[in-house]
Chains A and B, each alone.
Chain A
Amino acid sequence: MINAIKIYITILATFITLSSQANSLISVKELISYSNISNVQINPKGSLFTMYGYSDDNLKIVLGDIENKNIIDVFSSKKNENIYAHNLKWLDNNSFYYETYNQKNTNKKHHAWIVNISNTNEQLTLKKSRVNAYGFIIDALKDVDNTLIYGAYVGKKHKLKLYKTNINSLLKNNFKNQIQLTSKLKEAKWYGTDSEHNIRFSSIYDEEEHIVSHWYLDKDDEWQKYYEYNPSNLDFKPIGFLANGQLAVITNIESDLAALYEFDVKNKTLGKLLYSHQQYDLTNAEYNPKDLTIKSITYKNAGEEHTEYFNTNDENLYQLVKDAFDDQQIIEVSQNSNNTMKILFVFSSNTPGKYYYFNSITKKALFLGAKKEFSENYLFPKMKNITIKSNEGHQIEAYLTQASKDTTNNVLLVMPHGGPIGVRDDKRFDSEVQYLVSRGYSVLQVNFRGSEGYGKKYKNSGRGQFGQRIEQDISTIVSYVNKNFNYEQFCSIGASYGGYSAVMLAMKHPDLYKCVVARFGVFDLPLIFNDRNTKLKPSLIELWENVVGKNDGSLKTFSPVYFAEKLTSPILITAGKKDTRASFEHSNRMRMALEQQQVDVEHVYYPRSAHGHNWLINAQHELAYIDNFIRRKLKLGAPKGDNSKNILIEEYKLLAWGFKKSHIAENRPELLKWYEKLADDLINE
């Protein structure tokens, strides 16, 4: 038996170029960039693969031949066209489907395409055709040529009809003489098939009531509702029908942790527990449609993706792969029909990730490319685990990413995540964190109560705890770090709920936090309920009360807008003017209240950003400003590292340009001049 994996470093993707840069300080433009490779998928035979990615910010989709190592372009966008690709899937061994979306086009055009491949004399040729039908693929039926199950919106009234059809019908938008499947469920927009590729599953989301209902098609061709629930409170994820007729589901409806159970769809009852982890929620399970079994389960183990296989051979192979890749995290993103060839995505907290083609028979792994090409040229620090038991008895997990000894400025940035309910930090490469760490800061991220992945009780204990027990959990970890590491200064920085939390932490601990960065935050809790009249419906009020707490007047006590005078450290507020999730009004109120109390406050507003940035240049601008803000307020020197001067000049120019161009930041002539001068002074030094 082969007991080792051989990794072949062969670069296949033609649009990856290896730079010969030495270890330099990484620029914000390089770090905050689109993926060079993503969404790698192989055809049913495992002989061809597709991937898409960005080269110089322009989208490329390519097709590769594993055996002959050929790569050909399927699609290249023009410069600054701002096109995204998604929903790429193989239809059979020689054709695949994908969709494009043009963000710049005022009509925001969506298009779908089918590519047909011929292989003549080891040369691949393509024929790309536009899909004129409008709808969605339910089941590509990959093992059958030119056949798929498709939901098409047809006729003048665009009614949804389900067909077993062929590629030509999609291209011509003509479903006459195609097999219309009668199994449509009213109001359903999603369908799933069973192991025999018959439509068997559906679900409906009632937006008004915030209820998800799951349905299955019985032997009499009648849709039966087998479960409905509020997804804010419970998890219920159908996986597939087992050989005994029970449905495998991942759920926490009768347990604290989300676990793998049998579910009886006829009696609508939860059955046998199949697998539960001691500490963490399960996030997924892999179903084997050939023998109707569950192949594996997945969960986040101390923030890292982890899979366990039920079959010993599968588990041994997984461990072999883990050992070969030096214990990095591994996700299987695509496989061929008989599951012998796989695409593995291998990543860690200090590497954005790499794609490999893995032959499980020969145990050979072929390197296809890196998600971000810069990762070949820089060494990033890993996240370290910190787990502390709180005074109340619960475990709190946190991750610390430390600047190197050579570059540290001895500043710790405490970075609460958003949410706060049902969101979490992971041990994955985070470009924003790594930017800040490269600039000399260390970053602390805490999975406080309310975070996802630690069971219902942990998640629910964060509800209604804005500015209260959530910040207590964060402070428990911060106290530990303060005692055990030698940081000289602390700042709080966060986005969304994290922006709120950053402000509250500094207000509660004014002696500790020397600066605050509050991004896209909420600062007036009652405003969450009525920032617009469409949110005043009882169902939405209930939804928000489930997160924020009862809107009975007490929320004002935890709204920093109403006690701005308590903030004694300088603060930077950034916001997207189109933000409707954490309404832009929150940030403007906070700024006005702080100015009224003569607190040292700066603000940068981004006119075309919403709850976060859709455009890279805006994200780059904001990060560069954040670094500059912290340096000024804490009187830190320039960042340490090779090329630091050139990096700074580039960022000052970016900042100046951003305040000039209204599509980046709000026009601020005084800041434009300031940063232009800083750039000129450095150039002339």
Chain B
Amino acid sequence: MHMFQLINAKYSKQLLCLMALIVSSFSSIIAAEKLKPLGKNDGYLLFSVKTQSQIEHIKIRGKKWLNYELKDITDDARYFMTKTQAGDYYFSDIETGLGEIELDSEVDWSFTVEANAISYIGELKITEYTYSVFSYKELIELENKSSFAIEHIQQNYPKLFNSLKIKYTGPGDDPFIEFYMNINND
């Protein structure tokens, strides 16, 4: 029994048209060395993905629609940082090689991107669990790994690390990044 929900054929054509319209407004996640400078109402969104599944795309909706594509992801978490408009966002759905995964509607998938800051929102983990001879399910969660995000920014974006505010803006409250950065900057 999979937890996947395969897109119903009746809706697939409509979805494809919608996706075609949206494609033009999507922005892909940009490699670290190609980060664009921030505009007045922009911020950097930072998250990582950890999975052994083949990811086709990850859709984020909100102030702007974002589409993340990654093929053949390794077991190591991949960090991605992108410039986007400040505002509220949420993960809407994920597609793997086996189809669309519907995210649990009882779980909080929302986050905020703050202006002139790096907004770290967590690590998207997609894990397969085999719990019987013929059954497995996928567990999808957004894990808070703020300490690792700090280390990543410090190593890969040293200028930003020293100049921009860094905050955790994923689900739930967490003061650790601000606490650590305040002491760091003292």
Binding site for B on A (CB under 8 A): 107-110, 134, 153, 158, 524, 526-527, 529-534, 536-537, 556, 561-562, 583-585, 588-589, 592-593, 596
Inter-subunit contact A533/B109 (CB<8 Å): yes
**Which of chain A's residues has its CB closest to B135's CB?**
A158
Enumerate chain A residues within 8 angstroms of B125, measured Cβ to Cβ: 532
Whether A596 lies near B180 (C-beta < 8 A) is yes
21 contacts between A and B (CB under 8 A): A107-B130, A110-B133, A153-B132, A530-B174, A531-B144, A532-B125, A532-B143, A533-B108, A533-B143, A534-B139, A536-B107, A536-B172, A537-B106, A561-B176, A562-B179, A583-B144, A585-B146, A588-B145, A589-B146, A589-B176, A592-B147
* Known contacts A527-B174, A530-B174; A596/B183 CB under 8 A: yes
Across-interface contacts of A109 in B (CB, < 8 A): 133
B interface residues, Cβ below 8 angstroms from A: 1, 104, 106-109, 122, 125, 130, 132-135, 139, 141-148, 150-151, 170-176, 179-180, 183-184
Tell which of B122, B143, B172, B184 touches A529, judged by Cβ atoms closer than 8 Å.
Answer: B172
Q: Is the CB of A592 within 8 A of B133?
A: no
Beyond the given A531-B143, A532-B122, A588-B145, please list 19 additional residue pairs across the A-B interface where CB-CB is below 8 A: A107-B130, A110-B133, A158-B134, A526-B173, A526-B174, A527-B174, A527-B176, A530-B171, A532-B125, A532-B143, A534-B104, A534-B139, A536-B171, A536-B172, A556-B175, A583-B143, A584-B145, A596-B180, A596-B183
In the complex, chain A residues whose CB is within 8 Å of the CB of B176: 524, 527, 561, 589
Could you say which of A107, A134, A524, A533 contacts B172, with CB atoms under 8 Å apart? Answer: A533
Distance between A66 CB and nearest chain B CB, rounded to angstroms: 35
- Is B170 in contact with A533, judged by CB distance below 8 angstroms? yes
Chain A residue nearest to B121 (CB atoms) is: A533
Q: What 10 pairs across the A-B complex have the smallest Cβ distances? A: A530-B172, A533-B171, A588-B147, A533-B142, A534-B141, A532-B143, A532-B141, A589-B147, A108-B130, A134-B133
Question: Cβ of B106: which chain A residues have Cβ within 8 Å of it?
Answer: 537
Given known contacts A527-B144, A531-B144, A536 and B108 CB-to-CB distance under 8 angstroms: yes
For B179, list chain A residues within 8 Å (CB). Answer: 562
Complex contacts, A536 vs chain B, CB 8 Å: 107-108, 171-172
Known contacts A527-B144, A583-B143; A534/B130 CB under 8 A: no
**B131 nearest CB across to chain A (Å):** 9
Complexed CA–CA distance, A531 and B123 (Å): 10
A-B contact count (CB 8 A): 79
Bound complex: CA A592 to CA B132 (Å): 40
A513-B52 Cα distance, complex, nearest whole Å = 43
CB neighbours of B183 from chain A (8 A):
596
Separation of A109 and B173 alpha carbons in the complex (Å) = 40
A585's partner among B1, B135, B145, B170 (CB-CB below 8 A) is: B145
Quote the shortest CB–CB distance from B11 to chain A (angstroms): 24
Residues of B within 8 A of A534 (CB): 104, 107, 139, 141
- Separation of A589 and B180 alpha carbons in the complex (Å): 9
Nearest B residue to A561 via CB reads B176
Identify B107's interface contact among A108, A537, A562, A585, CB under 8 A.
Answer: A537
Distance in angstroms between the alpha carbons of A583 and B143 in the assembled complex: 9
A contact residues around B171 at 8 Å (CB): 530, 533, 536
Q: How distant is A583 from chain B, measured CB to nearest CB, in Å?
A: 7
Question: Considering the chains assembled together, what is the distance between the CA atoms of A158 and B132 in angstroms?
Answer: 11
Provide the bound-state CA to CA distance between A583 and B142, in Å.
Answer: 13
Are A110 and B107 neighbours in the complex by a CB distance under 8 Å?
Answer: no
Nearest Cβ on chain A to B4's Cβ, whole angstroms: 16
B1 contact set on A, CB distance < 8 A: 158
Closest chain B residue to A559, Cβ basis: B176
Question: A354 vs B11: C-alpha distance in the bound complex, in angstroms?
Answer: 65
Name the A residues within 8 Å of B134 (CB-CB).
134, 158
Return chain A residues, CB-CB under 8 Å to B173: 526, 530
Which A residue sits closest to B123, measured CB to CB? A532
The chain B residue sitting closest to A537, CB to CB, is: B106
CA A585 to CA B172, docked complex, whole Å = 15
Q: How distant is B143 from chain A, measured CB to nearest CB, in Å?
A: 5
Q: Is the CB of A588 within 8 A of B148?
A: yes
B180 touches A593 (CB 8 A): yes
Complex alpha-carbon distance, A539 and B104, angstroms: 16
In whole angstroms, how far apart are the Cα atoms of A448 and B57 in the complex? 50
Contacts of A153 in B (CB 8 A): 132
State A584–B123 Cα separation when bound (angstroms): 13
A109 to B170, CA, bound (A): 37
**A643 to B: closest C-beta gap in Å:** 40
For A531, the chain B residues whose CB sits under 8 A away are: 143-144
Say how far A151's CB is from chain B's closest CB, in angstroms: 13
Neighbour of A110 across the interface among B122, B132, B148, CB < 8 A: B132
In the assembled complex, the Cα of A471 lies from the Cα of B1 at a distance in Å of: 47
- In the complex the two chains form, what is the Cα distance from A536 to B106 in whole Å? 9
Q: Which residue from B130, B133, B142, B150 sits with its C-beta under 8 Å from A532?
A: B142
B110 vs chain A, min Cβ distance (A) = 9
**By the criterion CB–CB under 8 Å, are A530 and B144 in contact?**
yes
Give the shortest distance, in Å, between B155 (CB) and chain A (any CB).
13
Q: Which residues of A contact B107 (CB under 8 A)?
A: 533-534, 536-537
For A524, the chain B residues whose CB sits under 8 A away are: 176
A110 to B139, CA, bound (A): 20
Complex interface: chain A residues within 8 A of B174 (CB):
526-527, 530
Q: How far is the CB of B134 from chain A (nearest CB, A)?
A: 7
Cβ-closest chain A residue relative to B170? A533
B144 touches A532 (CB 8 A): yes
Complex Cα gap A108–B129 (Å): 10
Please name the residue on chain B nearest to A593 by beta carbon: B180
* Chain A residues closer than 8 Å to B172, beta-carbon distance: 529-530, 533, 536
Closest to A588 in B: B147
- In the bound complex, what is the Cα–Cα distance between A562 and B178 (angstroms)? 11
* A592/B108 contact (C-beta < 8 A), A110-B132, A533-B142 known: no
Measured between beta carbons, the chain A residues less than 8 angstroms from B175 are: 526, 556
Q: Which residue of B lies closest to A585 (CB)?
A: B145
> Complex: how many Å from CA A589 to CA B170?
17
CA distance A592 to B143 in the complex (A): 18
Question: B158: shortest Cβ distance to chain A, in Å?
Answer: 17
Residues of A within 8 A of B184 (CB): 596
Residues in B whose Cβ lies below 8 Å from that of A529: 172
Nearest-CB distance from A311 to chain B (Å)? 43
B residues near A532, Cβ cutoff 8 Å: 122, 125, 141-144
Q: Which of B139, B144, B184 has the most CB of A within 10 A?
A: B144
Q: What CA separation (Å) do A537 and B104 show in the bound complex?
A: 11
Determine the distance from Cα of A149 to Cα of B106 in the docked complex, in whole angstroms: 38
- CB distance A134 to B146 under 8 Å? no
Q: Which residue of A lies closest to B179 (CB)?
A: A562
How far, in whole Å, are A527 and B144 apart by their CA atoms in the complex? 9
CB distance from B147 to the nearest CB of A (A): 4
Bound complex: CA of A532 vs CA of B8, how far in Å?
30
